[in-house]
Amino acid sequence: MESVLPHRAARFLGDARRVVIFTGAGISAESGVPTFRDDLTGLWARFDVQRLATPEAFHADPDLVWGWYEWRRRRVRRAEPNPGHLAIATIEARVPGSTVITQNVDDLHERAGTGAVIHLHGSLFAPRCVTVAAHPATFQDPQDGDAVELHEGRRIPPPRCASCAALVRPGVVWFGEALPEAALTAAVEAAATCDVLLTVGTSGVVYPAAEIPRIAARSGATVIQVNPEPTPLDQVCAINLRGTAAQVLPALVAAAWEATAER
């Protein structure tokens, strides 16, 4: 594995016909959105996420869990896509056979211009009725200047479903819940048939999503990792780019298409 920005990575990317970009919380870190496991900023460092990101937690204390997600949603609303998100949108635009798969529940890939995003763990912006998922559920976006500055741990009663008056829950996949079947099937299919998989900003420890880069490697794809830290995915990567998404991805994309243009 190489640990600097090698032209080999740029050539693999520039030559690839089918590219999968697989992202985790690290892609949004430089947008100011906390990751889960980073020591200082990670949500897990400050919360027992197993106490918050589970159906049991919501059942036990819906106001605490809904308040936590509202706090996170408002942070995402205030965040902007970073150069890493924009570089991924460039790859999607340049490679017709590309697929963007994210574990994240924010909308920063979409706001950076990526057209189609497979969300394996749902979205902060798709609340749903806790009883009947198909019941339409909306929630009041904070108005500009909303004086309510949410702080972590602030309890907010969830809205009620307009169709059946049951609680509305965040539209994310909690621990112990199955991933959306269509999203997981599409992600596995893309990983099993790609030439290159670029894994960015994930610790690779949450399953079954963490299988995606491993499926690509087993299928003969070149797996390139972008992460400032070592992860369990180091073992399946052909190339390891030790750096942050906003630093590495723009340089990698520029080199990939400069390299192609020179040929």
Q: Indicate which residues carry an active-site annotation.
A: 121
Task: Tell me if 209 sits within 8 A of 179, measured CB to CB.
Answer: yes
Rounded Cα–Cα distance for residues 126 and 76 (Å): 14
Task: Tell me if 89 sits within 8 A of 114, measured CB to CB.
Answer: yes
For residue 62 the two structure tokens come to 């819906």
Q: Contact letters (x/-) for ligand BV8, 173-192, by CB under 6 A?
A: xxxxxx--------------
**Minimum CB–partner distance for residue 124 and ligand BV8 (Å):** 8
DSSP H or E stretch at residue 5: none
Q: 141 or 175, CB closer to ligand BV8?
A: 175
Q: 179 or 217, CB closer to ligand BV8?
A: 179
Site for ligand BV8 in 207-246 (CB under 6 A): 207-208, 226-229, 231, 244-245
Rounded Cα–Cα distance for residues 51 and 174 (Å): 11
Rounded Cα–Cα distance for residues 180 and 201 (Å): 22
Question: Which residues contact residue 144 at a Cβ distance below 8 angstroms, ignoring those fewer than 6 apart?
Answer: none
Rounded Cα–Cα distance for residues 225 and 20 (Å): 12
- Of 31, 90, 98, 104, the residue at the interface with ligand BV8 (CB under 6 A) is 104
Task: Tell me if 20 sits within 8 A of 12, measured CB to CB.
Answer: no
Q: Which residue is nearest to ligand BV8 (CB)?
A: 26
103 is an interface residue for ligand BV8 by CB under 6 A:
yes
Site for ligand BV8 in 78-97 (CB under 6 A): none
Q: 37 or 75, CB closer to ligand BV8?
A: 37
Rounded Cα–Cα distance for residues 226 and 91 (Å): 15
Q: Report which residue type is found at 172.
A: V
Site for ligand BV8 in 31-50 (CB under 6 A): 35-38, 42
Q: 101 or 226, CB closer to ligand BV8?
A: 226
Peptide bond into 208 cis (omega under 30): yes
The piece of 103-111, 187-195, 213-221, 255-263 that touches ligand BV8 (CB under 6 A) is 103-111
Contact residues for ligand BV8 (CB under 6 A)?
Answer: 24-26, 29-30, 35-38, 42, 53, 103-105, 121, 172-178, 200-203, 205-208, 226-229, 231, 244-245
